[in-house]
Amino acid sequence: MAASKSKQSLPHFVLFPLMAQGHLIPMADLAMLLSQNGVKITFITTPQNASRIHSLLSQSPFIQILQLPFPSTQPDIPQGCENFDSLPSLHLVPKFLTATSPLCRETEHLFLQLSPKPCCIVSDMALPWTIQLADKFNVPRLVFYSLSALYLLSMANLRATDFGQTIMAAADSELIIIPNLPEPIQVTKSQLIFTLDPVFLEWGNQMAKADRASYGFIVNSFDGLEPKYLEELKKSIGSDKVWCIGPVSLCNKDTTDKAKRGNKAAIDEQRCIEWLDRREPESVVYAALGSLCNVVAAQIIELGLALEASNRPFIWTIRQTKSTEKQVENWLAESGFEQRIKDRGLVVRGWAPQVLILSHPAVGGFVTHCGWNSTIEGISAGVPMVAWPLFADQIFNQKLIVGVLKIGVSVGVEKCSRWGVEEEIGVQVKMEAIRDAVQKVMSGEGQEMRRRVRELAVTAKTAMEEGGSSHLNLKLLIEDIIHQADSQQLQS
């Protein structure tokens, strides 16, 4: 009864994650952080996605997960596809996003049953329809950005200057300067083409409209990481209600929490730790190209050969997809790769406990696709990076890693992957280029990068501790929402 009473007296936040691992996982981390700071959480998602984060969120008595069936209104979305990574092809992502819209109506019925009345909605930026719920039930909508301030500011500046026509008129390899940034950032048209897809532009317009009508913004970053871009982002948004509360992954403090984070791991956590324990400090290369890795089988093989040629111990995570799994498995079996590297390499087929691996002292380098979660997790662990961006914000995160923060090297990718036509691009980066980039990070040449990223790791941890900037921002956010709820109650 006491627990029930305490739950009723807590402020109540409703969280809506996007159904993609790179968005779902940090939103689950945010739920844990809020619950640890006296907030009751209702986490609304679909059954398959609920199963992925249940083991983590079920640890808190102040978090409830409510499940809604994924709408089956889009004929091109196969039954059972409830996450980006389950789609047969990533070119279906725009239709997948559109297919989430009917959840708005389903949630309206649910909202009336929630007790106590929610104080606010925390929505992933890619679910603009949640603004309708906020308006209907007269609660503030907070936007959760699991992206870098650099990327968010770049996109805002492109929209504000109507730069799209200039980009479309440029040659594929022509360098384009993103307007109005604190420091000049150059990209090519081919690297921006993903962002200019007509369907994504329309959805982006809806997102921007919902954001403008929202109460405030939560950013998975920390004040000491990209301060110039963060300050300009606040000016661009035109609001001081921007709270940096990250890195949210640092809420997972013990081994069990780190292992439970995300999908069910394809490797036993104890085996992984024991393997790492046998290696020298900072000797291991960890390679993972993300939950939506869409490179062709031949490119995956080039990465494997590069890891072998680096003569370093390594953990290599291979995302298994219908289009590449058979070819890669055939190569692994026929080439004798695993037999050759058995004494110094570990191949993980499927999901790996990334935060657990990165935080181990044996790991000294990270080959990454530069997704924001992976980027900030690498920074939090103090591990320098080999930057291999595939699409969208990853291109900008590479610029931050290599050009701004100087905590990694580029693998040399020149084009953005285009969903659904990966075969047309084929192999972009050869074994030699990957091997050389790994050697730069792991050798004496990488010592200055290592020093910088270690300093950032200390700053990240300090930000999340009692009295740190992210910890204070989270407290201020909660206080602000409670004040808003109290004011509304007095007026009603």
Give the residues across from 44 on adjacent strands.
66
Catalytic residue, chosen from 12, 23, 360, 369, is: 23
116 preceded by cis ω (within 30°)?
Answer: yes
Which residues make Cβ contacts (< 8 Å) with residue 344, sequence separation at least 6?
312, 313, 314
> For residues 284 and 313, is the Cβ–Cβ distance under 8 A?
yes
- For residue 363, the SS3 value is strand
Q: Which letter does DSSP use for residue 264 in this model?
A: P
> For residues 223 and 469, is the Cβ–Cβ distance under 8 A?
yes
Nearest to 473 by CA among 256, 244, 251, 276: 244
Catalytic residue, chosen from 29, 85, 124, 393, is: 124
- For residue 40, the SS3 value is strand
Backbone angles phi, psi at 63, to 5 degrees: -120, 125
Nearest to 42 by CA among 57, 55, 24: 57
- Record the tokens describing residue 178, joined without a space: 């993103």
Active site residue 369: no
Q: Which amino acid is at 68?
A: L
> For residues 306 and 439, is the Cβ–Cβ distance under 8 A?
no
Backbone angles phi, psi at 176, to 5 degrees: -120, 130
247 preceded by cis ω (within 30°)?
Answer: yes
251-255 long-range contacts, CB within 8 A, separation 24+: 251/29, 251/32, 251/33, 251/36, 251/464, 252/29, 252/32, 252/56, 252/355, 255/356
Helices and strands (H, E) in the chain, number of each type: 23, 15
**What spatial distance separates the first Cα and last Cα of the chain, rounded to whole Å?**
29
d(CA 228, CA 154): 13
Active site residue 23: yes
- Record the tokens describing residue 299, joined without a space: 């490119």
Q: Is 198 exposed, middle or buried (0-12, 13-18, 19+ CB in 10 A)?
A: exposed
Which residues are part of the catalytic machinery? 23, 124
